[in-house]
A and B are shown apart, each in its own frame.
Chain A
Amino acid sequence: MTTITESISADVPTREDILERIREIQPILAKNSAQGEADRRVPEESIAALTEAGAFRIAQPRRYGGYETSMRTMLEVSAAVAEADGGASWVVTLSNVCAWMTGLFSEKAQDDVWAENPDAKVSGVLAPTSEAVKVDGGFRVSGRWYYNSGSWHADWAVLGIPITDSDGEVIDQALALLPRLELGFEETWFVAGMRSSGSNCLIAEDVFVPEHRIMLVPGAIKGEYATEHSEEALYRSAFVPLLSLVLAGPQLGMGRKALEIATEKADKKAIAYTFYTAQSDSVAFQLQIAEAAMYIESAHLHAYRAADDIDSAAAAGVYPDELVRARVRADTAWVIEHVTKAIDTLVSAHGAGSFAEVNPMQRIWRDSNVAARHAVTMPAVSYEVYGKTLLGRDDQITPLI
């Protein structure tokens, strides 16, 4: 497997530097994870530590002080954060992917977001659950967008809109960049897992969006972006594959952590109602650990292969064909499916103690399972997409490839 080496510049840390900083703050993130669930919001101490560590800069252009890294780095940073807190990782992941989307917009739009506040964070929802009226110089937008992960911390939002002509007919689909201050907000995220991701509802009521803060989605799916900076490899990455694969990052870290918890305790925990005084003495337990570890390894191999597909195409300045793009969706689904299986096995092997509120295992189990049901990464859907592509069928089920 080849690894794309990101061009190193003096003021941009290496991937390993960034991961080391994340590892340093993991104790803070872990300490705050239960509080984040209770508050349904990642505590500011965690957000501040992640900001300080540069976790929110990895998908921001260097022109604004960002690190402008790669798909692979986005995966690994999300995974490292998720070892300590799944919810914080989801906020990091979604803020970064929305920063990446912002980097696809025109420079004028990017300036609106970052020129005066390089630390600005972006939330977003692709679904055009809104209406848009064409007016002079742009559109007036009204709508409600659910599941804006990271909404508590966002300064901007990238939101789906329909594009209409002067007769009000829908003629296209787009993403619009809106300042958070011009949007209403409702707390709607009351869920069983990923409670601290803050995936709440943002609301626009007749908000004006100028033309330069609009980017067409069908074009983006084909790799036609608004940014003038075609020399920036990260912003040549394939649209739907990157949007999909980022969601695997938190799962990798949660899977690793669950394996670590189950393995660490295995010498000290007995198997209830058996003569085993240590789980680790049991061959059945050894097999469970091995199986879970292999599921997690398999998840990593697929995630990194898919990241490599995206990064190498972006570096070469080519847009991956539909088969590769569909395979990234399938790879992403594979990652999620295998981490879900691994955690399920580990919870059973580790025992009923997994579900004690003081045990991070139960939070990982809930966070991972809820995150695994994100609509863009549903295994059944993603495999159907890939299967249809492999068979060259003309009855594809989604434009999102």
Chain B
Amino acid sequence: MTSTSDLTSEAGAVVDAKRFRDLMARVCAPVTIVTTADADGPHGATASSFASLSLDPPLVTVAFDRRSALLGRIIAAGRFGVNVLHHGQDDLAMRFASRGEDRFAATRWHTDSGLPRVEGSAGWVACDLREAVEGGDHLLLIGQVTKACNAEKAPLVYANRVFGTHSRFNERPRRSIVDQIAACISD
């Protein structure tokens, strides 16, 4: 993945591909598993491009390489789910990023709003696909959120090509009952 070919923007500026990738590697990214389902069963892939877009209406975005198999399935289904992974789920992130593995067979998941939802994640949104926006070699999917669920778990983050978490998660403002509940639901 470290091709050093130059990238040419439409304006004619030349950017070194590796330099650009290294720049993006410095950006702290969330780690999510985006899913959809159709007659062939559940489908999903790891994505770090998940972002919020609009509060009212509630819109989120996630970008996929145009060659992604999942992309076509999401567009066909018109719906997708986003599992926001927690700190302990880096193995799942790797599983859903690798080729050829039966991703769901070894994963604890269930169906929620007709979409595959991974057990034990830090967050979950179900979305209707509202628009697919052209973006170079990627498509930016705009999803309208139809359901959102949260759990009190440290989020998984990806930066500088390593997984980690929010180092000050435990300093977040919260009531003590939140920790008591977290103690009762940790698996």
Contacts and interface: CB of A to CB of B under 8 A. Distances in A.
A173 B177 contact: yes
A84 to B, nearest CB: 32
Contacts of A360: none
Given A144-B110, A186-B110, A128 B177 contact: no
A170 B184 contact: no
Contacts of B181: 128, 162, 170, 173
A172 interface: yes
A170 B178 contact: yes
Nearest to A398: B183
Interface string A72-100: 00000000000000000000000000000
A127 B177 contact: no
Nearest to A170: B178
A193 interface: no
Interface in B63-93: none
A331 to B, nearest CB: 22
A171 B180 contact: no
B175 interface: yes
A129 interface: yes
Interface in B142-160: 149-150
A128 B175 contact: no
A47 interface: no
A126 interface: yes
Contacts, number: 34
A127 B185 contact: yes
Interface string A131-145: 100000000001010
Given A131-B149, A170-B177, A172-B177, A399 B183 contact: yes
A169 B181 CA distance: 13
Interface residues of A, number: 19
A173 B184 contact: yes
The residue among B149, B177, B181 with the most chain A CB atoms within 10 A of its own CB is B181
Contact of B180 (A144, A169, A218): A218
Contacts of A400: 183-184
A160 interface: yes
A129 B178 contact: no
A160 B184 CA distance: 9
Contacts of A170: 175, 177-178, 181
A342 to B, nearest CB: 30
Interface string B170-184: 000001011011011
Interface in A165-197: 169-173, 186
B118 to A, nearest CB: 12
Contact of A131 (B150, B178, B180): B150
A129 B150 CA distance: 11
Interface of A: 126-129, 131, 142, 144, 160, 162, 169-173, 186, 218, 398-400
CB-CB nearest 8 A-B residue pairs: A399-B180, A127-B184, A127-B185, A129-B185, A173-B181, A128-B181, A162-B181, A170-B178
26 contacts: A126-B184, A127-B184, A127-B185, A128-B181, A128-B184, A128-B185, A129-B185, A131-B149, A131-B150, A142-B149, A144-B110, A160-B184, A169-B175, A170-B177, A170-B178, A170-B181, A171-B177, A173-B177, A173-B181, A186-B110, A218-B177, A218-B180, A398-B183, A399-B180, A399-B183, A399-B184
